[in-house]
Amino acid sequence: MSELLLTTEGETHVVVKRRFEASPEALYRAHLDPELIQQWCLGPEGWTMPVCVNEAKPGGKIRYEWSNGKGMGFFLTGEILELDPPHRIVHVERMHMPDATPDNRIVTTFVADGSGTLMTMRMSLPNAETRKAMLATGMERGMEASYVRLERLSGSKASS
């Protein structure tokens, strides 16, 4: 299963599961080492992360800044709450768009699964207001065609 499994838990949480062909140690490192984070945690195509701070220790600060190279950008700040290497990361984060969204506590676990690792990430579902703000930031720009289509779909709904 290298396909992403995304489910909701009640009306308050989202649970994401995915399998990787690598050890829990490698996954754990990839989630905490800024040099590695900058290479993959970029969202849609066309975005980069010019600033990446992750103090990888309990109480350590997190700051990720994204840019699309065309003057659009936003950033995230957070703190590490708990670390249990290489199996568990608990952190809190908020987006700044530019107003800060409510704190999102995220628990990420890595469990060995055969030759790979099963990652599970459990996080809060943002409230309706935050979701609307996120959809309006242009984060969806440059997304694969299906999302452009979905956008058009919702647009045509609004105008009908």
Q: Which residues bind other proteins (CB under 8 A)?
A: 2, 4, 6-11, 14, 16, 18, 20-22, 26-27, 30, 36, 39-45, 125-126, 128, 131-132, 134-135, 139-140, 143-144, 146-147, 149-150, 152-154, 156-157
> Residue 82 CB, nearest distance to other proteins (Å)?
22
CA angle 96, 101, 107 (to 5 degrees): 105
Taking CA atoms, 104 is separated from 1, 65, 90, 154, 155, in Å, by 27, 17, 11, 27, 29
* Rg from Cα positions in the chain: 17
Q: Nearest approach, Cβ of 39 to other proteins (angstroms)?
A: 5
| Cβ closest to other proteins, residue 43 vs residue 58 | 43
Residue 19 CB, nearest approach to other proteins (Å): 10
- Rounded-to-integer distance, Cα 120 and Cα 91, Å: 14
CB nearer other proteins, residue 98 or residue 157: 157
- For other proteins, give the closer residue by CB, 48 or 103: 48
CB of 59 to other proteins, least distance (A): 26
Judged by beta carbon, residue 58 or residue 153, the one nearer other proteins is: 153
Q: In the complex with other proteins, which residue's Cβ is closer, 27 or 52? A: 27
Q: Report, in Å, the least distance between residue 104 CB and other proteins.
A: 12
